[in-house]
Amino acid sequence: MSPEDSRALPLRGITVVALEQAVAAPFATRQLADLGARVIKIERPGSGDFARGYDRRVKGLSAYFVWCNRGKESAALDLKDAADHALLERILARADVFVQNLAPGAAERLGLGAATLRARHPRLITCDVSGYGTEGPYRDKKAYDLLVQCETGLVSITGSPGAPARPGISVADIAGGMYAYTGILTALYERERTGRGTQLSVSLFDALAEWMGHPYYAEAYGGEPLAPSGARHPSISPYGHYGCGDGARVFLSVQNEREWAALCTRVLRRPELVDDPRFTDNPARHAHDEALTAVIEECFAAHTADGVLALLDAAGIAAARLRSVAESTAHPQLAARDRWRSFGSPAGPLRGLLPPVTVAGREAAMGAVPALGAHTAAIRAEFAAPRAG
């Protein structure tokens, strides 16, 4: 990124202090770092953020940590030590945002509760990320991603019948992190008009419960509980994977009656299916999904997967091939749009994707992943207590 790009980043000049660990809060603050904010990550001396030890897959570094902590400064401070606690207080006095996702009650015991900090620093934006929120019977319960997925009902509708499954990524952490990120951006915008900070709180449970909106409405008002549907859609048909003549599978989705007619006439070559009573609209098609799958796979059996995809593309039907993670990494769309960039780390250069939002004329900071405590000495010097006299 050129110096001109760096000066143009929208959060340049904003300082974020992050007392964070694991995924949700670090994921939120990494988005802020990519937008040009200075993110000072406070870590425990010796061990640091426990996500550093999740694995050693990235040249000896944790894949989770690399993903969520690009572009930050790491200061290893013992907050039970009076001098280090005072140093943090001096940093906070010059900060714009404070984010924490410690265990329930830990920030308050350290004198870093939102109400306390906001009383001392009216312009400070505080964001507490928790598992279940600050009230209610689950308030003090520890919460990790899979456990929140279970409590919100996500796992019950994921997987196959009789075999509930965890989605392949940490969706509760990601949901909570993204709501924290957007909440902080909103609070920064509000502060421009009011001059005052805001006290934010985000729970992983609330975030994922919001994402469960469709299952909630479908079950609460549909009269029947949703069941896990594997790689098929729980309420739209045809929408899922279908076998082809070469043994491969193609995924397709029909979203409306125009697309259904195109599938029948131009791909399946069965125009009479358009008005078949079993398939007259989406609820009917979903009710007869097994029969519809048999019809589709009978037609696809005469073609290879590539041939089916060509027919679907020509008919304007949304379709995809199932790719592995490695195949997705080499996706031609990413290469054509130049989405990969290099960034630094204690293990040397690494490669990562640009953030999803593209702003014309600017590029994300994508700074280095910090070693534990790499910036401690510089931060101690910058925020040293003023000398008496």
Q: State the catalytic residue, choosing from 233, 241, 286, 331.
A: 233
What's the pLDDT tens digit per position in 31-88? 999 999 999 999 999 999 999 999 999 999 999 999 999 999 999 999 999 999 999 9
Tell me the two tokens of residue 107: 């920030």
Q: Is residue 375 pLDDT above 80, yes or no?
A: yes
Instruction: List pLDDT tens digits, range 14-46.
Output: 999 999 999 999 999 999 999 999 999 999 999
Report which DSSP code applies to 21: -
Average pLDDT for 230-258: 91
Mean pLDDT of 360-372: 92
Asked if pLDDT for residue 3 goes beyond 50, the answer is: no
**φ and ψ at residue 295, rounded to 5 degrees:** -65, -45
Helix (H, G, I), strand (E, B) or coil at 93: helix
| Whether residue 2 has pLDDT greater than 80 | no
Residue 389 has a pLDDT of: 59
Question: How far apart are alpha carbons 215 and 217 in whole angstroms?
Answer: 6
pLDDT tens sequence across 332-342: 999 999 999 99
Mean pLDDT of the chain: 93
**Which residues face 342 on adjacent strands?**
351
- Per-residue confidence band for 229, with pLDDT thresholds at 50, 70 and 90: confident
Cα 66 to Cα 54: distance, rounded to the nearest angstrom: 11
Residue with token string 């960039």 = 341
pLDDT at 359: 82
Q: In the predicted model, is pLDDT for residue 105 greater than 60? A: yes
- Same fold across 3-212+332-382 and 239-322: no
Counting beta carbons within 10 angstroms of the beta carbon of residue 243, is it exposed (0 to 12), middle (13 to 18) or buried (19 or more)? Answer: middle
**Model confidence at 344, in pLDDT bands (50, 70, 90)?**
very high
- Cβ atoms of 212 and 205 within 8 Å: the answer is no
Domain topology for 3-212+332-382 = Rossmann fold (3.40.50)
Per-domain residue ranges of the chain: 3-212+332-382, 239-322
User: Does the structure show a pLDDT above 60 at 99?
Assistant: yes
CB 15 within 8 A of CB 29: no
pLDDT at 370 over 50: yes
- 98 close to 92: Cβ distance less than 8 angstroms: yes
- What is the sign, positive or negative, of the torsion defined by CA atoms of 275, 281, 287, 291? positive
Please report the pLDDT score of residue 4 as a whole number: 45
Q: Which residues pair with 87 in a beta bridge?
A: none
Backbone angles phi, psi at 340, to 5 degrees: -90, 140
Verify whether residue 233 is a known catalytic residue.
yes
β-sheet bridge partners, residue 200: 127
How high is the pLDDT of residue 159?
A: 87
pLDDT of residue 388: 66
CA distances from 87 to 15, 83, 124 (A): 15, 6, 17
The yes/no answer on whether domain 239-322 falls in CATH 3.30.1540.10 is yes
Model confidence at 161, in pLDDT bands (50, 70, 90)?
confident
pLDDT of residue 225: 82
Confidence of residue 315 (pLDDT cuts 50, 70, 90): very high
CB 125 within 8 A of CB 98: yes
> Token pair for residue 32?
């802020």
Q: pLDDT-based confidence at 254, cuts 50/70/90?
A: very high
Reply yes or no on whether the pLDDT at 238 is more than 50. Answer: yes
> At 205, is the secondary structure helix, strand, or coil?
helix
Task: Encode pLDDT of 126-150 as tens digits.
Answer: 999 999 998 899 998 888 999 999 9
Name the more confident of 251 and 225. 251
Do 320 and 38 form a contact (C-beta atoms < 8 A)?
no
